[in-house]
Amino acid sequence: MRTAIHLVRLNVKTRLRAMKPGVWALVALAAVLLPALSIMLGRALAGLPVSPHDMLLFINGFLNVLLFMQLGSAFSAAFSNLYVSRDLFLLLASPCRPRWIILAKMLEIFASGLIPYLVFGAPLFFGIGMGLHAPVWYYPLVLLAGIPFVALPAVVAVMANMLVSRLVPAYRAKEISGALGVIVGSVIYLVTRLVTFASRKIGSLSDFAGSLARIGVSWSPSVVLARAAVEGLDGRLFPLAMVALGMAGIAVILFSLITQGAERAYVSGWAAAGTRRRGRGLVREVRPSASSGAGRFAIELHSLKVEARLFFRDLESQSQAIYAMVMTLGMVLLRPGDAGATGSTMDSLIPFVYLAVGGGYSKWGLNSMLVTARLLRQAPAHSVKVMRGKAFFYGAIQTVFVAVLAFIMTLFGRPVLGNKFILGIVWASVAFTTGAVSVAATVYDPGVSETTGIPRLGTAGNIVLLVSNLTISFIAGAGYLWGMSKGELWKCALLIVAVMAGVFAIAVNAAARMVLSAKP
């Protein structure tokens, strides 16, 4: 156990040293805002005539959402730290016992779910406690009770990963798990939205909660913790303490059992079976044809073809791109309280929302960017044209997704009103521009996970990508609405397209410069 804790401590030190000043600024901002939110929530509740039991449904619903978030982060972290990790041979050659290294990896998986609880769950519990004048012992106990609540999703994620890795070769486990994760996450999200949507039609929210309890969800960890927290708010120490100890004991037992199974999986080698086939299959397709494309856009066309092949073979990238559209559809079609709505002018802004966040949900060629940058620094290729080809491909993909989004909205009785031809031109221009910005972001802050070797976008790159695409989509959406209000839609559309073309050119050229100037 000491070895596992030492490994985790070394990993934490390495990550803290690698954090950039912008990330530290966000941490400092969160350290100020989260206590402030707790105090604001406490003061708001202090002025309301509510009892602890009145908060049960709210706490339960919040913990359900938090549990789904923790399951998603735990599934992703489990695959990254275990079965798509590239340290199997180092692990087998290490003088340490594999069990302690695997336990260290599992503690990292546990930490990935602990952060959302500390960021969202702890301020909520503390704010409710301050508002309802909870006893002093309530605060440390409810915080400790939430820690094993976080550990249970980590155990479930490792068990599910062991099952998938046992049935599916490891060289496809990452992609298949990513696709399955999106399917499960999308279903959970749509069911949650449907529940909220349908609850407005039921006589009261308490009746709806009672109908959920009758189908057997009352035993879930979120319900148990919510009831224990309410008992603690009511001044009862014993239920909250027993739930904290009981969940901690269950988590420790499951951790010990699952660590042994993961150790056998690593030592026997089946967790990494079939990795050689993948490398052998890629070599046949890296040689470009000299006759691919003609004229001045030959390089762009070839870059587009290569990017398309990589994208359509990576199930994880495809599923992440679809995930953003599913989230947007759920937000639009299952909006609480307006069943049967027939669409409005504001629905034309929904695709802008998708374009603002779509690039953030997808890797957008991140897997191939590091290799592309290395080749461009060694070969006499036109870097601007290569980046332009990448941007063309992702712009075309996003345009198709926007068209599908508008079509599905029409099928469900939420048609987009307005001049659809002009809207299509504006949407397409924003799609190509956000695609170019996404390509530039992968060049601006590419990285590789220290534990898995899997390419990932850095924190700074994610922030720049989200802020840039939000700004672009906001400018285009606001310009479209302004043109409608002034009756000069065509002029505004042409102006938007011109602005988007300028931003597209700036992003592509910036990506090309950063590729050539970056350190190998």
Together in a domain, 377 and 423: yes
Alpha carbon distance 324, 172 (integer Å)? 23
Burial of 203 (0-12, 13-18, 19+ CB in 10 A): exposed
Q: What confidence tier does 105 reach under pLDDT thresholds 50, 70, 90?
A: confident
Together in a domain, 186 and 311: no
Q: Domains in the chain: how many in total?
A: 2
Q: Cite the beta strand spans of 374-500 per DSSP E.
A: 446-448, 455-457
Asked if the structure places residue 382 within a domain, the reply is yes
pLDDT of 114: 79
Asked if the structure places residue 290 within a domain, the reply is no
What string of DSSP letters covers 437-465?
A: HHHHHHHHSEEE-TTT--EEE-HHHHHHH
Average pLDDT in the chain: 70
Together in a domain, 428 and 485: yes
Asked if the structure places residue 283 within a domain, the reply is no
CA distances from 20 to 26, 29, 254, 440 (A): 10, 15, 36, 19
Q: Write the pLDDT tens digit of every residue in 347-379.
A: 677 788 777 776 544 455 566 666 666 666 666
Q: Write the pLDDT tens digit of every residue in 6-41.
A: 766 776 777 677 677 777 787 788 777 777 877 777
Together in a domain, 123 and 20: yes
Together in a domain, 28 and 170: yes
Asked if the structure places residue 338 within a domain, the reply is yes
Q: Choose the final residue of a domain: 276, 305, 324.
A: 276
Asked if the structure places residue 162 within a domain, the reply is yes
Q: Write the pLDDT tens digit of every residue in 168-191.
A: 554 454 555 555 555 555 555 555
Together in a domain, 71 and 133: yes
CA distances from 235 to 80, 129, 164 (A): 42, 11, 45
Asked if the structure places residue 285 within a domain, the reply is no
Together in a domain, 316 and 416: yes
User: Residue 356 is part of which domain span?
Assistant: 296-517
Together in a domain, 269 and 354: no
Does pLDDT of 136 surpass 80?
yes
Contacts of 327 (CB under 8 A, 6+ apart): 186, 189, 357, 361
Residue with token string 């209000």: 485
Which of 38-52, 231-245, 389-403 has the lowest average pLDDT? 38-52
pLDDT of 498: 92
Together in a domain, 22 and 159: yes
Asked if the structure places residue 177 within a domain, the reply is yes
Q: Write the pLDDT tens digit of every residue in 115-128.
A: 778 877 888 888 88
Q: Choose the final residue of a domain: 227, 244, 276.
A: 276
Percent of the chain exceeding pLDDT 70 equals 58
Together in a domain, 130 and 192: yes
Together in a domain, 326 and 258: no
Asked if the structure places residue 54 within a domain, the reply is yes
What predicted TM-score, i.e. pTM, was given to this entire model? 0.50
pLDDT of 513: 82
Cβ–Cβ contacts within 10 Å for residue 367, how many?
Answer: 17
The full length of the chain comes to: 520
Alpha carbon distance 232, 319 (integer Å)? 42
Together in a domain, 254 and 326: no
CA distances from 514 to 387, 392, 434, 440, 500 (A): 11, 19, 18, 8, 21
Per-state percent for the chain, helix, strand, coil, to nearest 5? 80, 0, 20
Residues 59-83 have a mean pLDDT of 73
